[in-house]
Chain A
Amino acid sequence: MTSSNAPKNITVSDLANEVCGLLIDKGVVAEAIEAYRLAMCLAISLELPTDPAPKMTNNKWDTAAVFQSRGQDLDSLMQLMGYQEDSVVTTGKLLAEAGLLYLKAKIDSGSDVFSILVNQGLIKSKA
């Protein structure tokens, strides 16, 4: 993991930028980093399959910014959901990609993203 003083803005691929741009345009998020966090949580909730060969190449993830900003300790959340501590960054990146691609497909089909994000939260764990 990187240090906590890493810059907030992160450099990502064109596709990730496009999806984040769409979400910003629709007023779902104010910044790309929020999109990553939501997308990752959505992917965990939906149990989306992750592609070991990420489509969003050249991602330079600032894991501290994504997972460990103050009050946003998603590193803990991932561990809580059963992901190994030493693979949180790699897995988190793949999950965020899967979530963003899922959201793009939903936006393209005219679905309401707010509804997807909030209503997905209603799905309870099978356990």
Chain B
Amino acid sequence: MSNFMAYKGTQTIDFTVADSAPLILFLGENGHGKTTIQRACKWALYGSVVEKKEVISIDKLVNRKALQEASGAEVDTSVQFDWEDDENTYSLTRSFKTTNSIAQPPKVVLRINNQNPEPEKAVNTIVNRILPKEISHFFFFDGETQDDFDRMASATGSADYIKRQIEATLSIPAVKSAIATLMTRKNQESIAIEKANKQNAKISEDTKKLNQIREESVALSAEIATREESLHSVGVRINEIEQKFHNLSETQALMRDIEEVRATRKLLERDHRQKKEDLRDLLALHPWIPLAGKLHSLQQNLEREMETARQTSAARYSLEEKARQLKDVLEGQPCPVCGTKSSEGTDQVAKQLHHIQIEISNLSVGEPIDNSASRLQKFPLFNFSESAWEMARNLLKEVEGIGADLAIANQSARDLDAKLEALGAVNVQDLLASLNALHEDKNQLIQALSDYRNDAKIKQSEIDKLQNSIGKGLPPSERYVFELLAYLSLLFEVTLSAYRSAVREKVQDYASKTFLKIISDQKYVGLQITDNFGVELLLPDGKSDPLKSTGQGKVSAIALVSGLIHTAMDEGFILMDTPFVSLDMGHRAAVCKWATESGFRVSLFMHSGEFEWGRDRAQFGDAVGRVYRITRIDDNESTVTEGTSV
């Protein structure tokens, strides 16, 4: 790819893998460019890319960043797709140039076996012969197809969709078209015989009858067409209502979530209210709490002052006592302990006394002890306590913690409410009534169609009989073409009927095998493709169950696709975009196993929500041939790089 959509510059992807490791993993987040790779393949093959049912215009295929950086110069956008089959190699390149945001018409070059390019006009025919565009979505299993398969998995939508897909895959419309042409030619030949022999009395009489039956047959065909159209409309309406029921189940799940969140919120609100009340009561009892730190410091300071004052007082008392004793000595008094008089000199005692008196005068009196004591006594008067303060801090933490949880619960409730609003109101009773009425209409239409088709068969048989009898007496040379056409018409009809039946059995056989490999529910023995091409789950007793869950639908879709591809070809490739959506882990593992054993070259495009390298890589065993990582550099540039891990 060169400058194609999100990919700037040239990116090369190698899809070649060994038979023993047929899987290629493309890993990237949503919006990084997984689907673009599939689109590049489709654009190269068919020249158009569809998004949301609309073809993307060519000017949107060029990479925006490359265009900006070119500043008006020419930008080349191209996709080259190389492949081979048993006989040939093919190299297909589709490209266009963009100058000043104006895209020129694309060119396509197809070389077979490196020979000169095929004529451009012939390219589409050759490509469609190899891989018809109508069935390409089986091989490029992208988001758009996923929607189709989701609808197919729903009970009502399946029959018509599958029938069309199977018939398209097996070229049945072409056979049917051939039968219609033969029938038209046969009728024309019959009319020519009637006209050429209108003088013949018997032919004239038969022709009258034939014309009358033909008119009746035309009227019947018109009735059938009207009923078919009505049936289609009813089917569309039923699908719409079933989609609403899908919304309903989502709504119910959301309602359950909302109830849970509301219950949690109620509990949190109750706890929050209670804790706030506790804190409020505590603050009412202890209004000093905003001042607690300062009060605490003050209390500590006062206690320290008290202690210092006590120590000073004790030291002073001790010194004063010593001074008193020294004074006694100086005055010639005997020692109060031993009763003897001191022998030391008077000068020395006087000196000691002097030092002690200096020490006493140096002792700071500081805050009067009574003052500190009286201030400390004020603390209990307003109920100051450290435990109350600590309790307040703890309560605040609890209030804040519960408040944070409550904010989260409130946000969840708002998100869920928004989701519910986006889904819209769903009235179950009205939906059920409408659905029942539509199913009744549908059954009546099916019955009417069946009756009309039987009548039409009878009329056709009468026509055939009359056409065969007309001109029975004519020479063989005049009836040769008519009889040949009648024989060919019959041959094609019988063959088509047998072909349909055989193919259905083959598709059913392979789809059943795939289904059983993937589905975890051991209750079923396979898939059943019914006469009207619906898909049902086959039970051991031969009875069948309709598809019930989205997961069953997904697995059935994958099984059916493999059945169709295997029926149509011996080997092939399949690119599956986000294949694991709606599948639980068990079924994901089973699909991984199927992918490794399917015999196809399977490329899986997955985001982190459905595939985690560490967790899921082992499920593919040694079957992974290549791993590509898709990364977005910015809004206008992505890159795809190969590596053995992420």
Interface residues of A (CB under 8 A from B): 27-31, 34, 37-38, 40-42, 44-45, 71-74, 76-77, 79-81, 112, 114-125, 127
Residue of A nearest to B299 (CB): A80
Instruction: State whether the Cβ of B580 lies closer than 8 Å to any Cβ in chain A.
Output: no
Instruction: State whether the Cβ of B583 lies closer than 8 Å to any Cβ in chain A.
Output: no
Residue of B nearest to A117 (CB): B290
Question: How distant is the Cα of A124 from the Cα of B273 in the complex, in angstroms?
Answer: 30
Taking each of B285, B287, B290, which has the highest tally of chain A beta carbons within 10 Å of its own beta carbon? B290
Instruction: State whether the Cβ of B16 lies closer than 8 Å to any Cβ in chain A.
Output: no
From A34, A76, A121, give the contact of B392 (CB < 8 A): A121
Instruction: State whether the Cβ of B279 lies closer than 8 Å to any Cβ in chain A.
Output: yes
B292 pairs with A121, CB closer than 8 A: yes
Question: How distant is the Cα of A82 from the Cα of B242 in the complex, in angstroms?
Answer: 79
- Give chain B residues whose Cβ lies under 8 Å from the Cβ of A123: 293-294
Instruction: State whether the Cβ of B338 lies closer than 8 Å to any Cβ in chain A.
Output: no
- Give chain B residues whose Cβ lies under 8 Å from the Cβ of A116: 290
From B273, B284, B379, B400, give the contact of A34 (CB < 8 A): B284
Question: How distant is the Cα of A45 from the Cα of B389 in the complex, in angstroms?
Answer: 15
From B296, B383, B400, give the contact of A115 (CB < 8 A): B400
- Give chain B residues whose Cβ lies under 8 Å from the Cβ of A127: 297-298, 301
Instruction: State whether the Cβ of B564 lies closer than 8 Å to any Cβ in chain A.
Output: no
Residues facing A in B259-315 (CB within 8 A) are 273, 276-277, 279-281, 283-285, 287-298, 301
Instruction: State whether the Cβ of B337 lies closer than 8 Å to any Cβ in chain A.
Output: no
From A40, A76, A120, A125, give the contact of B297 (CB < 8 A): A125
Question: How distant is the Cα of A42 from the Cα of B301 in the complex, in angstroms?
Answer: 21
Residue of A nearest to B395 (CB): A118
Residue of A nearest to B383 (CB): A71
Question: How distant is the Cα of A116 from the Cα of B291 in the complex, in angstroms?
Answer: 11
7 A-B contacts (beta carbon < 8 Å):
A45-B290, A79-B378, A117-B289, A121-B293, A124-B293, A124-B294, A124-B297
- Other than A38-B290, A77-B381, A115-B396, give 18 A-B pairs with Cβ distance below 8 A: A27-B276, A29-B280, A34-B287, A38-B287, A41-B287, A42-B290, A72-B383, A76-B381, A77-B291, A80-B375, A80-B379, A118-B279, A118-B392, A119-B396, A121-B389, A123-B293, A123-B294, A125-B298
A27 pairs with B293, CB closer than 8 A: no
- Give chain B residues whose Cβ lies under 8 Å from the Cβ of A124: 293-294, 296-297
Q: Give the secondary structure class of B's interface.
A: helix
Question: How distant is the Cα of A125 from the Cα of B300 in the complex, in angstroms?
Answer: 11
Question: How distant is the Cα of A44 from the Cα of B134 in the complex, in angstroms?
Answer: 84
Q: How far is the CB of A67 from chain B (nearest CB, A)?
A: 9
Q: How far is the CB of B302 from chain A (nearest CB, A)?
A: 9
- Give chain A residues whose Cβ lies under 8 Å from the Cβ of B327: none
Residue of B nearest to A37 (CB): B287
Q: How far is the CB of A75 from chain B (nearest CB, A)?
A: 8
Q: How far is the CB of A99 from chain B (nearest CB, A)?
A: 8
B291 pairs with A44, CB closer than 8 A: yes
Question: How distant is the Cα of A115 from the Cα of B396 in the complex, in angstroms?
Answer: 7
Given contact pairs A27-B276, A29-B283, A125-B298, A41 touches B375 in the complex (Cβ within 8 A): no
Q: How far is the CB of B401 from chain A (nearest CB, A)?
A: 12
Given contact pairs A80-B379, A124-B294, A30 touches B289 in the complex (Cβ within 8 A): no
- Give chain A residues whose Cβ lies under 8 Å from the Cβ of B285: 71
Question: How distant is the Cα of A71 from the Cα of B285 in the complex, in angstroms?
Answer: 8
B396 pairs with A28, CB closer than 8 A: no
Of all A-B residue pairs in the complex, the 10 with the closest CB atoms, nearest first, are A37-B287, A121-B292, A125-B297, A73-B381, A125-B294, A42-B290, A76-B378, A76-B381, A124-B293, A118-B396
Given contact pairs A38-B290, A118-B289, A28 touches B378 in the complex (Cβ within 8 A): no
Question: How distant is the Cα of A106 from the Cα of B335 in the complex, in angstroms?
Answer: 75
Taking each of A28, A77, A80, A115, which has the highest tally of chain B beta carbons within 10 Å of its own beta carbon? A80
- Give chain A residues whose Cβ lies under 8 Å from the Cβ of B293: 45, 120-125
Taking each of B277, B281, B298, which has the highest tally of chain A beta carbons within 10 Å of its own beta carbon? B298
Question: How distant is the Cα of A37 from the Cα of B291 in the complex, in angstroms?
Answer: 11
- Give chain A residues whose Cβ lies under 8 Å from the Cβ of B288: 41, 74, 77
- Give chain A residues whose Cβ lies under 8 Å from the Cβ of B396: 114-115, 118-119
Residue of B nearest to A43 (CB): B290
Residue of A nearest to B281 (CB): A30
From B276, B292, B298, give the contact of A114 (CB < 8 A): B276
Q: How far is the CB of A4 from chain B (nearest CB, A)?
A: 14
A41 pairs with B291, CB closer than 8 A: yes
Given contact pairs A119-B396, A123-B294, A125-B294, A30 touches B378 in the complex (Cβ within 8 A): no
Residue of B nearest to A115 (CB): B396
- Give chain A residues whose Cβ lies under 8 Å from the Cβ of B389: 121
A45 pairs with B382, CB closer than 8 A: no
B379 pairs with A72, CB closer than 8 A: no
B382 pairs with A76, CB closer than 8 A: yes
Instruction: State whether the Cβ of B61 lies closer than 8 Å to any Cβ in chain A.
Output: no
Residues facing A in B443-502 (CB within 8 A) are none
- Give chain B residues whose Cβ lies under 8 Å from the Cβ of A37: 287
From B283, B284, B378, B399, give the contact of A77 (CB < 8 A): B378
Question: How distant is the Cα of A126 from the Cα of B38 in the complex, in angstroms?
Answer: 72
